[in-house]
Amino acid sequence: MTIYIISGVSKGLGYALAENLLKSEDENTKVMGLSRNMPDFVIRFPKYFDWVKTDFKNPKEISINLELALKKYSPTKIVYISNAGDINPINKIGEIACKEMIDSLSVNIISPANCVNYLLNQYSNIEQLLIINISSGAANKAIKGWSLYSSAKAYMKTYFDVLEAETKDTTYGRIIVKQIDPGAMDTDMQENIRNANVSSEQLNRLKNLYENNNLKQPKDVAEMIIQSIREIL
């Protein structure tokens, strides 16, 4: 059995990825979604979808909840798609509350890193463990108002680079690390960006993409990502 674990599954790209996989209703595939809010897949695809209620603002939940969910199965392959993220707070340095910093770092760094750490610790000896980081161009840019989000994306890019270096020569291809930057998509995150009070060139560019209907659709990006995964497995 192949288990796909997708974080941030209740909306945006995470939702589109899960829906793409679930529509095939493959008996040998299980989709496990991590999110605070329950997606409708619980009702639409009860046989193929497991919802793991998890708040990424509480990193200690991650390994506990994953262990409880995964112990029901004996997967031969696991695909973990690290997708969950939060761009908030969008604000200038010096105007961000400590609690906002803690929440942002928990969602964007500590919890996804904890997921990866748990999977490597418990499942490095299965037939194949594919770990995918949904990255962002923000990892390489200094964007006004995005200090926490951009820094987190840069951190996770390096984290996955290190993971790839650590596993490349020792696992005979069992562990594969892939990073994907999907580009600007029409999601709730984009709406948050457009409504932000901080002005920047990046904000103006994204507004122009939205106004000209040039933002990518999550379902199209999901199809591309799933196709690239199937070429690996």
Q: Over 80: is that where the pLDDT of 205 sits?
A: no
CB atoms within 10 A of CB 32: 23
For residue 164, tell me if it sits in a domain: yes
pLDDT band at 199 (very low <50, low <70, confident <90, very high): low
Mean pLDDT of the chain: 91
**Taking a C-beta distance cutoff of 8 angstroms, is the pair 10, 39 a contact?**
yes
The whole-angstrom separation of Cα 54 and Cα 203 is 30
The whole-angstrom separation of Cα 182 and Cα 17 is 12
Q: What is the pLDDT of residues 137-163, one digit of tens each?
A: 888 888 888 899 999 999 999 999 999
Mean per-residue pLDDT for 121-129?
93
Q: Over 70: is that where the pLDDT of 173 sits?
A: no
For residue 29, tell me if it sits in a domain: yes
The whole-angstrom separation of Cα 220 and Cα 185 is 10
pTM: 0.92
For residue 108, tell me if it sits in a domain: yes
Residue 174, pLDDT score: 87
Mean per-residue pLDDT for 27-54?
96
For residue 144, tell me if it sits in a domain: yes
Kindly state the helix (H) or strand (E) to which residue 78 belongs, with its residue range. strand 77-82
Question: What residue numbers bound the domain in which 148 lies?
Answer: 2-183+218-232
Mean per-residue pLDDT for 200-217?
75
pLDDT band at 198 (very low <50, low <70, confident <90, very high): low
pLDDT band at 172 (very low <50, low <70, confident <90, very high): low
Stronger pLDDT, 203 or 95, i.e. the higher one: 95
Domain total of the chain = 1
Stronger pLDDT, 195 or 15, i.e. the higher one: 15
For residue 200, tell me if it sits in a domain: no
For residue 8, tell me if it sits in a domain: yes
Stronger pLDDT, 216 or 80, i.e. the higher one: 80
For residue 189, tell me if it sits in a domain: no
